Amino acid sequence: MSAATTSVPADARPLGRPLTANRLPKWAPAAVAAGSIALGCGIGAVGGLESKLQWGLISAILFVVISYVLSAQVEGRRQAKDRLATSVVWVAFILAVIPLLALTFYTVQQGAKVVDGNFLSHSMRGVRASGPGGGIYHALIGTLQQVLLASLMAAPIGLLTAVYLVEYGRGKLAKAVTFFVDVMTGVPSIVAGLFILSVWNLALGFNYSGFSGSLALAILMLPVVVRSTEEMLKLVPNELREASYALGVPKWKTILRIVIPTAIGGITTGVMLAVARITGETAPVMLLVFGADYINNNPFDGPQQSLPMYIWMQYSQVNNQYGYARAWGAALVLIAFVMGLNLIARGIARWRSPKAGH
């Protein structure tokens, strides 16, 4: 007899274990959650804890501990570990969602007070900073123009760079490009702003303008577009490229007509997310766009305004309730704008992605 056969004891009966075991009822986790919250609040109230955050944390810890102990008693240790992992995941999820919901809720609550037709269609020209009225029209126009210009610069360059890296790039040049894209990803936005300020405005002598802001925004957007497009192009199966080559289609046409259309959903999503990212950038805009109270429809000449900078300017006036209100209104519009972009991106991704219809 070999070692392999003797290592199994003669009396081992692997199928002798029962297949049924005690299980907690389906409603148990919900009941435990309700119980722990009640208990947590009770402890908080009795102990005189001021912060509701502490109440919540106590409840969360109680939930994790009670589910584990209860399950260990009724169901056994393996099931209890499973429950432990599940409840930790739930607690972590709720902790992550709370700030997000709170932020959205608070912005909507504060912003909805001021956002109306007048707010969206008027600038701050002739409006007393400490008084009511005024609006964000000039900032909205500025943001739209600056982001559009930045996207027009960064999206094609980024797309072509990604195509180069995935389809053509070999050897040292490709490695260098990848390295510098990585470095660019880490450039702080204020540094991008300073760079454009010193090169474009100071060395080359151009005036403050929306366009110089969008140059800095394009620098910030570029690496994001390259990275996301690169990942999407890598996902296109090589078989499709080979199928196209085997039909006698040249490489550039294969890329243009087969590879990019297959990945277009993901590419669009990536570009839209990059747009959403730069829409909220404040630092380079502060350095380069300068902030104007009036409407300036020409992004190539003179100071403009943008939403993030408007928020900062309104909120930086100490003890000015009208300024604070306008800041929240602009924040609401900004969030809505970014969310709208994300929704559009998702829509395009779903619409354009390859489907397996029948």
Binding site for another protein (CB under 8 A): 170, 237, 239-250, 253-254, 257-258, 261-262, 354-358
- 126: Cβ contacts below 8 Å, ≥ 6 apart: none
Structure tokens at 122: 């008027």
Rounded to 10 degrees, the C-alpha dihedral 259/262/263/269 comes to 150
**Which amino acid makes up residue 283?**
A
DSSP-based three-state secondary structure for 3? helix
Which CB, 35 or 261, lies closer to another protein? 261
Residue 276, CA distances (Å) to 183, 229, 289, 332 in order: 21, 16, 19, 14
Which CB, 115 or 232, lies closer to another protein? 232
Residue in 315, 320, 342, 318 with CA at minimum distance from that of residue 331: 315
Structure tokens at 343: 């929704």
Shortest distance, position 264 Cβ to another protein, whole Å:
8
Shortest distance, position 267 Cβ to another protein, whole Å:
13
Shortest distance, position 161 Cβ to another protein, whole Å:
19
Which CB, 242 or 301, lies closer to another protein? 242
Which CB, 174 or 273, lies closer to another protein? 174
What is the DSSP track for 162-222? Answer: HHIIIII--HHHHHHHHHHHHHHHT--HHHHHHHHIIIIIIIS-PPPBHHHHHHHHHHHHH
Give CA–CA dist 40/55, Å, rounded.
Answer: 6
Give CA–CA dist 40/56, Å, rounded.
Answer: 7
Shortest distance, position 231 Cβ to another protein, whole Å:
18
Which CB, 49 or 174, lies closer to another protein? 174
Question: Which residues is 290 bridged to in the sheet?
Answer: 304
Which CB, 177 or 184, lies closer to another protein? 177
Shortest distance, position 166 Cβ to another protein, whole Å:
12
Which CB, 97 or 176, lies closer to another protein? 176
Shortest distance, position 337 Cβ to another protein, whole Å:
30
Shortest distance, position 236 Cβ to another protein, whole Å:
9
